[in-house]
Structure 1
């Protein structure tokens, strides 16, 4: 069997596996002036559908005109212990962390302690002058400094987590040549934001973690937000996962001290709503500095947007209407987690989506939710024919599964792709259900008679079942359709057959 997916197809496969999650309802705070009952029901139905199709496992909060209109949680905070997510579950938020660094910088600038447009050597005299005399805080905040984002790690190995210092992180790239003249263009750089965190520590004399706590989290009452530490016990902390071949796995360990100011924070949907409200109120920044944070400082061609200070400034679609509205947003992705925070200033609205699975269609979900808020048309996700067929097979048997397959394969609310049929056959084969895997591949070949990979897989399954003549015939067919299929050549040789 050959499992070979493009990155695009793999992403679709991972997002669309239909495993049914139960919804864990958190506190709802509907406001009659902010969303009517039909809107509330529409939001619930849309998000629940994503959760039921296995595409969303996490927490969501939607606010409109400054009031929370919907907040619920779905799926599991810990899948091994069957512990549900709640609206106060703590999720890693990845690069959403950058906007918190930006606020601390602007607070110190408002206090006259930092200048955004002088060389960083002003504050870091030991930083290599060939770079430090060119780069400013403005460049770092806008990802225009030219500091490399990818470079060989030179950090010493540690025998315990949470031990890397900001200085160790900065030493890795400080002397490397800049990739372009500062200010020339946008090039996303986590290293640049780690340098911001280090500079803040040097200027303030406090740790970056202390600065966040003293200047943001404590004043705003964000009691469920902080700097992620591996060893520290943390109430209601979600475990992180990723999907592969329709199965969930524990995410790889990340030492968050290496992520630092670029993305080491955790939070909840409720705390991030407090953050949103504070950005309107002026509790954190004077108006002039708040406006500076959200200014379109530099084009970001990769996202068809502009970048401010820790925020993406972009016109986003309102459902399927074709209309757009100005948003301030940022996503965050780190092993086992993804997040998206989207503010709509003209309505004082916000959509917050936090997931403890590495990939989820958060932008598509946000598009639909924005459509609902603006009474515009929107779309529901389509369900995977392959994965929902597998559910029926597991629950009711192969004949029921085949009947189900034929009943939904052409339905507009479902989608069918060859690779997913291959994947579920592989899952059945690995579960010692080769006979069922063969039936699934027969369905696949019926739908995709020119798909060499399905014939290759069918050859493997038939060989497992002892049906050698059939196996040889299918490997030959696969090779006929794709003469470059070296796997078919090797399998035929193993069975004593010389490929044609």
Structure 2
């Protein structure tokens, strides 16, 4: 092979060969995932593929703790909100078939919905409908679920709650918006949502380990889900959620191989056109498109979606411009799968990445902690953090987020109880108290308010 042909070949297979062989890349990825497994921050299956070649497909930890059954590359998990990538693709397929327009108002399908004339299909897809799930959850006890159908209940919930913002303006993640999309798919195809997804996607593309009703699935490869009562002790088995509850926003189960098939189906424009995919991959507000989160890693456009349901977590990351797929499915309620996905992508591009090492917490008396109590703000994002002292421990309360208990590694350095890559370093800068917040390779500063 002459030099010109050799360079053409190397460039055509991408960024990996100039620095590492594929076997070395796979070894690095395996070591990274293994490190997270060793500190109880991953337990599940991983698949990594580049330009049509699978670099790594492997299971880590137990799929069933009681029987000591190990996770494999074929283990089946609930994928939760990764379901939205299927729902959005089905909607775009119906648009291509001229059965629907993204500009259609949902009053076409829900004439009894008071805000139906203001919300479009596009608003539902990109979570700008103004539907506020949190407000609806606060009032859910007022509805008699024993006499209402799922659709009747949804409409009652929606009509009983005002919009939180004008449609098309503000991002507000809404599962109920995707429930509406599932119902619209059902109305346009004259079959249930589940039947439509099977007919259009699962069956013709032979996704044999993908389906609905995870609770009734009878396969030896099915994982059991686990949660931790405290810290990272993921030993409590969770009951399987009824798929009717998560529906078109989160009811699908799958394994890493079938999700890789789904990546290839989209990559090759087999199900919907490149034009439709580009619509889906365009961020409309913040970083959300039509069923996909869009951001940039290593200077490349990443499209991804994560998922969380009781006992399971998922992360489906793709770099479509370079045919890269990173799939993580876990049967532990671990919080940091996206951190692992970012680390894997950094490995693929020969960039620095965070490799976790088991940390050890020390004991600090409350008198040494009280000086850190206060209100802090990350100025660039306007995120406000309340740091409190409760039962002799610091507790951090982000505004509109879940609280966390950082564990002391030294007198001023703390790490996350369930996610050790999160570090908080208390100090001073320009005579102001600050917290330096480190998440892997990312660093932010929060300044204490006076």
Q: Give TM class, smaller chain.
A: 0.7 to 0.9
Partner of 1:63: 49
Partner of 1:312: 293
Instruction: Tell me whether 1:298 sits opposite 2:285 in the alignment.
Output: yes
| Contact 1:123–1:203 (CA under 8 A) maintained in structure 2 | no
1:282 to 266, 269, 276: 269
Q: Secondary structure at the match of 1:339?
A: strand
CA separation of 1:348 and 1:231: change in aligned 2, threshold 3 A: closer
2:61 and 2:70 in contact (8 A); partners too: yes
Which residue of the partner structure matches residue 45 of structure 1?
Answer: 31
* RMSD of Structure 2 on Structure 1 (CA): 3.0
Once residues 352 and 168 of structure 1 are traced to their aligned partners in structure 2, the CA distance between those partners, rounded to angstroms, is 34
Q: Residue 225 in 1 paired to residue 180 in 2?
A: no
Higher helix residue share: 1
Contact 1:166–1:260 at 8 Å: present in 2 too?
Answer: no
Deviation of the 1:66 alpha carbon: 2.2
2:76 to 82, 90, 94: 90
TM-score (norm 1): 0.65
Report if aligned partners of 2:359, 2:409 keep a CA contact under 8 Å in 1: no
**Tell me, which stretches of 5 or more residues in structure 2 are unaligned?**
1-15, 363-389, 394-406, 415-450
Partner SS, residue 172 of structure 1: helix
Which residue number in structure 2 is paired with residue 351 of structure 1?
Answer: 326
1:261-282 CA-partner distances (Å, limit 9, x unpaired): 1111111110000000010111
Deviation per CA, 1:112-145, whole angstroms, max 9, x where unpaired? 10111021112333x32x3111111000001001
Q: Deviations over 1:154-182 (max 9, x none)?
A: 554559xxx96344334322442222111
Which of 332, 338, 360 lines up with 1:363 in the alignment?
338
1:194 aligned to 176, 179, 188, which one? 179
Per-residue deviation, residues 431-483 of structure 1 (Å, max 9, x unmatched): xxxxxxxxxxxxx999769x9xxxxxxxxxxxxxxxxxxxxxxxxxxxxxxxx
| Aligned pairs for 1:81-120 within 5 A | 81-120=67-106
Matching residue within 247, 256, 259 for 1:272? 259
CA distance in 1, matches of 2:168, 2:239: 35
Residues 447 and 203 of structure 1: is their aligned pair in 2 closer, same or farther, counting only changes over 3 Å?
closer
- 2:131 is paired with a residue of what secondary structure? coil
Cα separation, partners in 2 of 1:58 and 1:333, compared to 1, 3 Å: same
Does the CA contact (< 8 Å) of 1:229 and 1:257 recur in 2? no
CA contact (8 A) 1:60 1:353 kept: yes
- 2:10 aligns with none
Shift of 1:32: 8.4
The alignment partner of 1:310 has SS state of coil
Matches within 5 A, 1:174-193: 174-193=159-178
User: Which residue matches 2:430?
Assistant: none
| Structure 1: distance between partners of 2:156 and 2:295 | 34
CA distance in 2, matches of 1:236, 1:158: 34
Q: What is the aligned residue count?
A: 351
Q: Which runs of 5+ in 1 are unaligned?
A: 1-30, 300-305, 317-322, 388-418, 423-443, 452-500
**Aligned with 2:133: secondary structure?**
coil
Bigger strand share? 2
Q: What SS does the corresponding residue of 2:85 show, helix, strand or coil?
A: helix
Matches of 1:164 and 1:46, distance apart in 2: 47
CA contact (8 A) 2:214 2:252 kept: no
Alpha carbons of 1:445 and 1:339: their partners in 2 closer, same or farther (altered >3 Å)? closer
Q: Does the aligned pair in 2 maintain the 1:170–1:191 contact within 8 Å?
A: no
Q: Distance in 2 between matches of 1:232 and 1:158?
A: 25
